[in-house]
Structure 1
């Protein structure tokens, strides 16, 4: 991807203070099928506006499991918040454990709730089993309430406990 121009119609663009390259390396070390692409640098142009040193990293293009992202070193003006998060769909508890532990390393443990976490850069992630999507649209309100009550009491999601609350394997109807 080193010289490839991004052709993906919509790409998440993440604003970091000055950690764009560090974040891209961190995220690509966690997800399969991931790589760092083109890196652009600030020049003297616009220095009075952006205040970044010439030669410092401006943007980093990177791919996580086939999804292209762009990270920008934009300074301290904006911070991430929980209004935006990235959902990591997991098939097994082992996957949930892996992504939770890797993404949460160095993050804010006070932000952990219902499968959501905040990583060391302040970006919010949801690490969830794919099975929960079907559970959450079940027409059986009692079953749905049991699942929701179980999830609301968890930090990292526990697939077995969620399935026990659901009462039967997903898709068994």
Structure 2
């Protein structure tokens, strides 16, 4: 079998997005940037490929291989696909949330956000997965209900809800 990787479509800012992501996450790097040349055909209906402009960017986000394509405006990002960041603690949740919503990103509900390029992310504490899978379904339900009322997730508040403590 060949390799697998995540493919992302950008209108025109694939390289800028890749540079942002590798600056935020550890163990990340840009692998290669492929540029258009005179032989490159149109990118899509009515989208001219400019020689020297970025076509593809291969990079890694904490070991996840990603290929970003500048393909024009036909396929904008939607919440139907998101990148999940499994955080060790509240400090990581706070850091990734702040850095990904900076400069035009948008906070969303339940730990979701959009970065300034419109890509959806889920910034989730690892503990949330453990809580939701807990055999005590009543306690897990309380934590889930608390999560549904949050934007950025608050680990302490989720733990309190799980234990049945009123905040």
Output the TM-score relative to the length of structure 1.
Answer: 0.87
Structure 2: where are the runs of 5+ without partners? none
Aligned length: 161
The answer (yes or no) to whether the contact 1:84–1:124 under 8 Å persists in 2 is yes
SS at match of 1:36: strand
1:141 deviates by 2.6
Given candidates 53, 56, 60, the residue that maps to 1:56 is 53
Whether 1:66 and 2:63 are equivalent positions in the alignment is yes
How far residue 49 of structure 1 moved from its aligned partner, in angstroms, is 5.3
Residue matched to 1:95: 92
The aligned residue for residue 105 of structure 1 is: 102
Moved over 3 A (4+): none
Higher deviation after alignment, 38-47 or 156-165: 38-47
Give the Å deviation of 1:42.
Answer: 1.3
8 Å contact kept, 2:43–2:71: no
Corresponding residue for residue 122 of structure 1: 118
Does 1:27 find its partner at 2:21? yes
Aligned to 1:157: 153
Report the equivalent of 1:81.
Answer: 78
Q: Following TM superposition, by how much is the alpha carbon of 1:133 offset from its aligned partner in structure 2, in angstroms?
A: 0.8
Structure 1 window deviating more from structure 2 (86-95 vs 131-140): it is 131-140
Per the alignment, residue 4 of structure 1 pairs with none
Aligned partner of residue 33 in structure 2, secondary structure: strand
In the alignment, what sits opposite 2:33?
39
| Counterpart-to-counterpart distance in 2, 1:140 and 1:47 | 58
Structure 1: 5+ residue stretches without partners: 1-6, 169-173
Q: Is 1:132 the equivalent of 2:149? A: no
Which string of whole-angstrom CA distances, capped at 9 and with x for unpartnered residues, describes residues 84-118 of structure 1? 00000001100000000011113443x51000001
Describe the shift of the 1:143–1:155 C-alpha distance in structure 2 as closer, same or farther (beyond 3 A). Answer: same
Q: Are the aligned partners of 1:8 and 1:68 in contact in 2 as well (CA < 8 Å)? A: no
> C-alpha distance in 2, partners of 1:21/1:42?
13
